[in-house]
Structure formats: C-alpha cells, structure tokens
Amino acid sequence: MRVTEPHRARFSVDERRAQLLELGLRLFAERAYDEVSIDDIASAANISKGLLYHYYGGKRAFYVACVAHAAEALVERTHMSDEIPEPDRARAGLDAYFDYAEEHATAYVALMRSGIGNDPEVAAIVEATRTRIVRRALDGMGITTPRPAFRAALRAWIGAVEAACLEHLEHRDVARVGLVDMLLAGLYGLLVVAKQLDPDAPFALGPPPQPPTQTETASPPSRGSRRRQP
Amino acid sequence: MRVTEPHRARFSVDERRAQLLELGLRLFAERAYDEVSIDDIASAANISKGLLYHYYGGKRAFYVACVAHAAEALVERTHMSDEIPEPDRARAGLDAYFDYAEEHATAYVALMRSGIGNDPEVAAIVEATRTRIVRRALDGMGITTPRPAFRAALRAWIGAVEAACLEHLEHRDVARVGLVDMLLAGLYGLLVVAKQLDPDAPFALGPPPQPPTQTETASPPSRGSRRRQP
DNA sequence: CTCCTTTGTTGAACCAGGTTCAACGCGAGT
DNA sequence: ACTCGCGTTGAACCTGGTTCAACAAAGGAG
C-alpha cells in the first residue's frame, strides 16, 4: 500500500475552481440535480465534502455557478463581429450557436433543461442569457431604445432556435443547413410582422431570405452557406 | 378552545387527490421545488406528512403528478375541432393556448419552467406534451408518416410559442393579437422551408397569412380573431 | 536550516427534511 | 350496536446537506 497521498493534491484557487466547475457541469449534465450528492461531487473531484463549501456556498450555489459558467461560454461563443453585414450575421451567429451546442452537447442540454424546480436564481441566469443575446441582436439591427414588438419577436425566435437545437441534438434526421434555413425564414416572418406592429422602428427589412421556389429537395447552395446534406 | 377537530376532515380519494394536486400546483408555482417542504404541503393541505405518501409515492412523485396534471389540462384545452379548416385552426389553437396561459398563469409558468434539475421523468412529461401537440398539428395537416423536416419545423415553432407566451405573461407591452400574428407569420416561414426540404410531403402550403403591407400600427381585425388591444 | 504564518484542506459532528410504519378512529355495512 | 375497512396520524428513522475546529503543505523571515 502506497501512502504517498497522506493528503490530497494542493491546487491553486483558480485551478480548483476550474476543475470543480468542469466536473460539476459534467455531473449535472448526466444526472438530475438531486441525483448528484455532495459526496458524489467530492469523491469524483477527489476532495472532501467540506472543500466544496469553501469554494462555493453550498450545493445550490455550486449548481448555479456551473449553469452560469456554461451560459457565459455560450454567450461568448455566439458573439459575432460587427463587421459582418446583417443579412449574414444572423446566419453566422446561428451557425456558431449550433457549433457550440454540438461540441458541448451535454453542457448545452444541461443549460437548457436547467433549473432546480423553478429556482429563481437559475431561471434568472438562463433568462439573462437570452436577454443578452436578444439585446445584442437588437443592437446589431440598430434598435437601441425599447421596442416591445421586436423584443418579443426575437425572444420568440430564441425559443425556436433552442427548440430546434435540442431537436437536432436528439435525432439528427434533418440537415443542419436545413434547420438554419428554416429558422432564418421563421425569423423573417416574425420580423415582418414586428415591423408592421411598430412601423416607426429604425429598421429596414431586407428581401426575404429565399423565394419559395419549392422545386428542389434541398435548398440551393447559394447565399454562402455550406452544404452538409447526408 | 374548540375541540371540534380531534381528527382532520375525511375526504374521498378523488376529492383528496384533486385538492392535493391543485394545492401542489399552486405551491410549486410560487416557490422552487426544494423550497417547498413536505411539512409545508402537509400543513397547507391540513393533513399529516404521512398522508401524502399514501396518495403519492413521495415528494418527487407528487411533483411529477402536479406537472402531469397541468400538462394534461393544457393539451385538452388547446385541442381544436377537426371541423375548422387549416388556415384558421392554427390561429384558433394558438388563441386557446394563450387563453390557458393567461387564465392559469402560475400553473403555466410552473409547467414551462418545471424540471427538478434535469429530472428525466419531468422532462419526459413536458417533452411528451410538446410531442402530442406537434403530432396533433401534423395530423391536422394531413401528415401522418414521419416527416423530419415538418416535425422539426413544428417543434421549433412550439418553442417560439412558449417563449412568446412567457414573454407576454411577464411584460404585456405587445397586443396579444400582434403576438399571434407574428407567430403565425413565423410558422409560415418555417413551413415554407420545410416544404422545400421535403417536397414530397402531402401538404400544400396556402397563401401567406398576411401580405406585408406595413402601413398600420396594429393588424386589422380581419380573419375572424377578436381584438383585445389595451 | 528552522520557525512561523498563511491558506488550502480535512473529517467528524450536526441538523433539516424526506421516508417509513405500526396504530388510531370515523363511516359504512350487517 | 358492532365491526370491518380504509383514510389518517405522528413519532421514529435515515439519507444527505451544512458547519466548524483542527491539520498540513508552501512561502517567507530570522
């Protein structure tokens, strides 16, 4: 028997925090909140129960931190440069969104399905994340003052994006480009009516993303979107 | 001191179940899952802790039952008659959906924000509810065999509807009719591309819900929907 | 090199809250 | 009136989150 580890490894604060966050995100992604016990976390991280309380206030706070971590990563990831003109920026952001979701599938699903019951703090984080994305999109469209109709339209669209993304991760039977095309068409429809509801908005709607020619199976590879039809 | 209640009231099984479900839905709507203790439920229902275990397996099972109850009510409520032709059925169903959400705001929000962590059972109920609605909608469109593109489109749309509904309940600064118009326009956009992706689908898309005239602030009260502009 | 301070870390005790179970009493049937 | 069934109880139980005083590995001072 080796007794080389009388006490566990000694990390720096940041290292420990990062390790715990990563681990927690993985654990909470694969099991429900109260399926994961403090002991599970502690033993998986090879630390004692008490240490978790040193870094985070408790189990709840730790969970919140994990969710916030994932949310932050998502927001950063989908931040598109202002250089890109608007017709394509939405598509680029959407692509980045799907990229993140595909790469960190478990984390993404955990984030979307998150919430301890309807825990206000967790709900606030998820909702704040959506709001940040919506606000950023509105900024990109030149809308800075409160525009209820446009906010509602984008908020609804975010809902559609999240749903489509979860759908895509579950059973991948629709090409990703197809989903993106659909979502962009849906966004256009939403924005048309939003503009009708608020004609004074400083926002000019471009041409529809694609004329409904409905002749070919997949959409033509025009307008700079790469194909990936199976 | 009255001693008129040596033991609590004696209900029939169904009465008790109904009472507990109603109460639980209310409690879980206003507080988080593990903010609500068994004692809270028991004292609020004026019963002992043990009785809850007699009717439901435990706290978790009770929560699941509450969520299932709300989900069932929502599905029943939004079930539209097959008599209504399709251009209007979507609008009717959407109106019924908003009606339910407005009337049972707390229950609706609880249902949407539900989920104990990512509890698989709860998630399954919510997801099954969405699937039922999607399947019903597909049936109404004459699509019975698996049509991935259309399923994805409708699933995404449900996401948009839920998001818009929550948005509407939170800050009601957009007329409900406006939201409905937006959502229908978004649905149209989604379906156009879905049809492109799957041209063989036995589904003919009608004319767009409303030409983008973009002249008036609110949409005209045409097409048989009642107004409710504040 | 040794002591001392700092701070990451521990383990056991503590406690809240979900769960179990044997017994109790009100109502219906005889 | 008697008793059987079942809705109901309350206290004991136990898992699991929380607290806290003490311990040990780095880093610096003498």
Confidence class of residue A118 from pLDDT cuts 50, 70 and 90? Answer: confident
Q: What pLDDT score does A216 carry?
A: 42
Token digits of residue B83: 């008599």
Nucleotides of chain C touched by protein CB (<7 A): 7-13, 16-22, 25-27
Higher pLDDT, B196 or B1: B196
Of B113, B25, B127, the residue nearest A114 (C-alpha): B113
Hey, which of A80-89, B174-183, B209-218 has the most confident mean pLDDT? B174-183
Instruction: Provide the H-helix boundaries in chain B.
Output: 13-30, 38-45, 49-55, 59-77, 86-103, 105-112, 120-140, 148-170, 176-197
Confidence class of residue B179 from pLDDT cuts 50, 70 and 90? Answer: very high
Structural domain contains residue B23: yes
Q: How many CB atoms lie within 10 A of CB A107?
A: 23
Structural domain contains residue A180: yes
Contacts of B183 (CB under 8 A, 6+ apart): A156, A190, B94, B157, B160, B161, B164
| CA–CA separation, B184 and B186 (whole Å) | 5
| CA–CA separation, A51 and A37 (whole Å) | 14
Percent of chain A whose predicted confidence (pLDDT) is above 90: 61
| CA–CA separation, B111 and B155 (whole Å) | 17
Structural domain contains residue A165: yes
C-alpha to C-alpha distances, A201 to A138, B82, B174, B214, nearest whole angstrom: 11, 39, 14, 12
Residue of A110, A115, A151 lying closest to B113 (CB–CB): A115
| CA–CA separation, A49 and A98 (whole Å) | 36
Chain A: closest CA distance from residue B84 (Å): 24
Higher pLDDT, B48 or A1: B48
Residues, chain A, total? 230
Find residue A116's DSSP bridge partners.
Answer: B116
Percent of chain A whose predicted confidence (pLDDT) is above 70: 87
Q: What pLDDT score does A207 carry?
A: 82
Lowest mean pLDDT among B16-20, B59-63, B215-219: B215-219
Count the helix, strand and coil residues of chain A and give each as a percent rounded to the nearest 5. Answer: 65, 0, 35
Higher pLDDT, A121 or A115: A121
Q: Which of residues 187-216 of B touch A (CB under 8 A)?
A: 187-190, 192-199, 205, 210, 212-216
Token digits of residue B3: 């001693």
Q: Which of residues 102-121 of A touch B (CB under 8 A)?
A: 109-110, 113-120
Burial class (CB in 10 A: 0-12, 13-18, 19+), A7: exposed
Q: Which of residues 45-84 of B touch A (CB under 8 A)?
A: 63
Residue of A185, A199, A210 lying closest to B217 (CB–CB): A199
pLDDT at A124 over 80: yes
Higher pLDDT, B219 or A58: A58
Higher pLDDT, B145 or B174: B174
Chain B contact for A24 (CB, 8 A cutoff) = no
Structural domain contains residue B110: yes
| CA–CA separation, B58 and B74 (whole Å) | 24
Q: Which residue is nearest to nucleotide C26 (CA to C1')?
A: B10
Q: What's the DSSP call for residue B104?
A: T
Chain B contact for A145 (CB, 8 A cutoff) = no
CATH number at residue B71: 1.10.357.10
Structural domain contains residue B216: no
Q: What pLDDT score does B8 carry?
A: 64
pLDDT at A226 over 90: no
| CA–CA separation, B45 and B56 (whole Å) | 14
Q: What pLDDT score does B210 carry?
A: 63
Q: What is the pLDDT of residues A138-155, one digit of tens each?
A: 888 888 888 999 999 999
Q: What pLDDT score does B140 carry?
A: 86
Token digits of residue A127: 């909702």
Token digits of residue B53: 């275990």
Nearest CA in chain A to B156: A160
Q: What pLDDT score does A146 carry?
A: 85
Q: What pLDDT score does A142 carry?
A: 85
Token digits of residue B104: 């049972």
Q: Say how many domains are in chain A.
A: 1
Domain coverage including residue A74: 66-197
Structural domain contains residue B175: yes
Structural domain contains residue A96: yes
Instruction: Provide the H-helix boundaries in A46-119.
Output: 49-55, 59-77, 86-103, 105-112
Structural domain contains residue B144: yes
Contacts of residue A97 in chain B, CB cutoff 8 Å?
none
